[in-house]
Amino acid sequence: MLRDELKILRDLTNTVLEQTHLRTVKLPEVPEKQQAIATEIRRIKTAWSVLFTSTVKDYVLKRYVNYQQAVLVDLADRLFAHIVADSRHGDGPQVSPAFAIDQALLQGLLELLAFLEQYFEAGFNRAGKIPDALIQDTLKEIRGQADAIVRLLESSDTEESLKQCLIDYLELIPQESYRSKLNFHTRLYIKDLLVFLTPVYRRGTDADRSLVIVDVLMYLNFNFYGFVTWLQEQINYKIRRLATAEERLLVLIEELVRVKTSPVMLSVSCDLSLPPLAELLEAWLNEAIKKESGRYFPRGPGDSEKKLGLSLSVTQLSLFIRLLYEEGFFTLKNITAILRFTAKHFTTKRQEHISAVNMGRTYYGTDQFTAAAVKDLLLRMLARLNRMFFPLIALTIILWTS
At 68, the amino acid letter reads: Q
How much of the chain exceeds pLDDT 90, in percent? 11
Mean pLDDT of all residues in 222-244: 89
**Helix extents (H) in 160-244:** 160-170, 176-181, 184-201, 209-219, 225-240
User: Is the pLDDT at 48 greater than 70, yes or no?
Assistant: yes
Report CA dihedral (214, 215, 217, 218) to the nearest 10 degrees: 110
pTM of this prediction? 0.60
Backbone angles phi, psi at 128, to 5 degrees: -70, 160
User: Is the pLDDT at 177 greater than 70, yes or no?
Assistant: no
Give 302's pLDDT tier (boundaries 50, 70, 90).
very low
Pick the residue with more confidence: 69 or 175?
69
Give 298's pLDDT tier (boundaries 50, 70, 90).
low
Average pLDDT, the chain: 81
H-helix or E-strand spanning residue 385:
helix 368-389
Tell me, what's the pLDDT at 42? Answer: 93
Backbone angles phi, psi at 96, to 5 degrees: -75, 155
- Count of CB atoms situated within 10 Å of the CB of 340: 16
- Could you tell me the sign of the dihedral formed by the alpha carbons of 324, 326, 331, 334, in that order? positive
Tell me, what's the pLDDT at 110? Answer: 93
Give 270's pLDDT tier (boundaries 50, 70, 90).
confident
Alpha carbon distance 366, 363 (integer Å)? 6
Please, what is the angle between helix 209-219 and helix 160-170, to 10°?
Answer: 40
Alpha carbon distance 79, 112 (integer Å)? 15
Q: What is the pLDDT of residues 375-398, one digit of tens each?
A: 988 888 888 887 777 776 656 666
Q: 32 CB contacts (<8 Å, ≥6 apart)? A: none
User: Is the pLDDT at 72 greater than 90, yes or no?
Assistant: yes
User: Is the pLDDT at 4 greater than 90, yes or no?
Assistant: no
